[in-house]
Amino acid sequence: MAEPPLVAFRDAQWPALRALTEGLVGAEATSPATVQRTVVNVDAHVAAAAPLTRLGLVLLVDVLRVLPLFVVGTFALVESLSAEERARFLEKTERSPRWSLLIVAIKTLVIITFYELPGELERIGYRSSRLRYLALGAKAAPPAPSRKEGSP
């Protein structure tokens, strides 16, 4: 019997996490399926984290969910904002000395997880081949300088 997948976020938080992901990676530049895969992978990363880290990230999504009220003055949850309002919200949050640290953890998780998906690095111009990870043959060490007798 297969174990059910670990899930960190509650059902009510998934729309907020999806909205934040769309705002951070640009929903117009990627497909809804890619956004959904990113959200599922972020949830898997958070579910595998230590309990205190998991609690902090889950609470952080709740805070970011209601933060538009304080940042842009809109009485709406983050998932209710239009794409333009969401972009303005994220921009103001990142620039605010008071709120900028709240977005760092989620932004880091989302962006790294997004660019781990196949094809996303190539889409922005990176080569798919990872040449720096190729094993290189051992180079012969240069010969040691010889010492002449009587020299220090």
Residue 67 forms part of a structural domain: yes
Residue 98 in any domain: the answer is yes
Residue 136 inside a domain? The answer is: no
From first to last of its 152 residues, the chain has per-residue pLDDT tens of 555 566 888 888 999 999 999 999 987 777 889 999 999 999 999 999 999 999 999 999 999 999 999 998 889 999 999 999 999 999 999 999 989 998 999 999 999 999 888 888 788 777 766 666 556 555 656 666 766 665 55
Both tokens of residue 45?
A: 């990363």
Q: Is 63 contained in some domain? A: yes
Burial class of residue 98 in the structure, from the number of CB atoms within 10 Å of its CB (0-12 exposed, 13-18 middle, 19+ buried): exposed
Residue 132 inside a domain? The answer is no
Residues 77, 129: Cα–Cα separation, whole Å:
41
- Structurally, the chain folds into a number of domains equal to 1
The DSSP result for 84-147, as a single string, is HHHHHHHHHHHH-TTTHHHHHHHHHHHHHHHHHSTTHHHHTT--S--GGGSPPPPPPPPPPPPP
Residue type for position 18 = R
Range of the domain at 82: 11-123
Does a structural domain hold residue 144? no
**4 belongs to a structural domain:** no
137 part of a folded domain: no
